[in-house]
Amino acid sequence: MPAWITAFASAFDFAAPLALLLLPLPFAARLLPPEREGRSGALRVPSSLVGGAEPAAGLAARGRRLSWLIGILWAALVVALAGPRLVLPATALPASGREIILALDLSGSMERKDFSLDGQTVSRLDAVKRVGADFIRRRAGDRIGLVEFADQAYVAAAPTFDTATVARTLEEATIGLVGRSTGIGDGLGLALKRLAPAQIAQAEGGGPPPSRDKVVVLLSDGANNAGQTAPKDVAQLARELGVRLYTIALGPIDMADNPDNEQDVVDVETLRAMAEVSGGKAFRVKTTDDLENVANAIDELEGGRAKAPPLPLRRDLWPWPAALAFLCACGLLVTRRRA
């Protein structure tokens, strides 16, 4: 037997197979005793005496055609009612049950051109867009979200399995929409609020938060100088909620080592302390290569994705027997009109 026939037979089934029990119903009806003819005063005239009557052979042929059409019509209707379909397994996607939110600093200092891409000097934001978008697309199977912050914080992309959309949102990020300062605490706080709303509500009510596999990756190239919340306090809240925090300190100059007293240098110590308080890990990035290495390191730390069980895809086939029944009904109508 050809392989395609075997594959088709293994994938074919009926949504309501019990409906097939109706198939022999017309044959069962023929087994019933005929109706007794009552006496009638009508005069029966043999067809041979009636002028223009159809020959007996023609009547028999037309009767056979009608019988075939009625039989096929009934069988097609019953098969359509049974719901024939093909059940095909979908391609399994990697799934981890993990939720990740990227909290991105969009302060004015992200415009500084001290990174490189493809041999050209680019801004810090352009480097983050390239590396961050690649990281997001690799995380298929995770729910990914994006929070952007400066003077204020806002959710650019709610957590979703549609990693391609989140990556495009990151690539469209623009500086200046929410100010040019750096509100690290507010950015992390909003990420926690969207990442674990049920846990936050439970924690505020005094109950223990449920354990979830949730992660925030916070990237900043400055020091907290805006917003209403202290970064370390929000990091402590992340620890209480069971959210791992990875902080990325971006920029060539640290606040602790700034001999020229430049402005808008990165506060490495605060970002490191935030990661330690939350139970996560801090990373230091000075070049594009460093940024790519950090993305790969986080990707490995948050591995553990496995193949999800495939979901069956069903393709209904009932329109085909239904169409055959419709054609048979049209054939019956034409045949009866010609009689």
What's the token pair of residue 205?
Answer: 């009510």
Q: Express each pLDDT in 266-284 by its tens digit.
A: 889 999 999 999 999 999 9
**Nearest Cα to Cα of residue 277 among 218, 235, 233, 223:** 235
Q: What CA–CA distance (Å, rounded) separates 194 from 210?
A: 15
More confident position, 177 or 43:
177
Of the listed ranges 61-65, 94-98, 154-158, the one predicted with least confidence: 94-98
User: Tokens 């005239």 identify what position?
Assistant: 45
Q: What CA–CA distance (Å, rounded) separates 216 from 99?
A: 9
Q: Give pLDDT, residue 187.
A: 93
165 in helix, strand or coil?
A: helix
| Per-residue b or e along 302-314, where b marks 16 or more CB atoms closer than 10 Å to that residue's CB | beebeeeeeeeee
Residue 207 has pLDDT above 50, yes or no: no
Whole-number average pLDDT of the chain: 82
Residue 47 has pLDDT above 60, yes or no: no
pLDDT band at 91 (very low <50, low <70, confident <90, very high): low
Whether this model's pTM surpasses 0.75: no
Percent of the chain scoring above 70 in pLDDT = 76
What's the token pair of residue 271?
Answer: 């970002």
Say how many residues make up the chain: 339
Q: What are all long-range contacts of 199-204, with beta carbons under 8 Å and residues at least 24 apart? A: 199/241, 199/242, 200/237, 200/241, 203/237, 203/240, 203/241
Could you count the other beta carbons within 10 Å of the beta carbon of residue 125?
25
Could you count the other beta carbons within 10 Å of the beta carbon of residue 212?
16
Of the listed ranges 13-17, 132-136, 253-257, the one predicted with least confidence: 253-257
Residue 4 has pLDDT above 90, yes or no: no
215 in helix, strand or coil?
A: strand
Of the listed ranges 169-173, 186-190, 258-262, 278-282, the one predicted with least confidence: 258-262
Cβ-based burial of 238 (10 A; exposed 0-12, middle 13-18, buried ≥19): buried
Identify the sign of the CA torsion 139, 142, 146, 147: negative
Q: Give pLDDT, residue 255.
A: 75
Q: Give pLDDT, residue 33.
A: 72
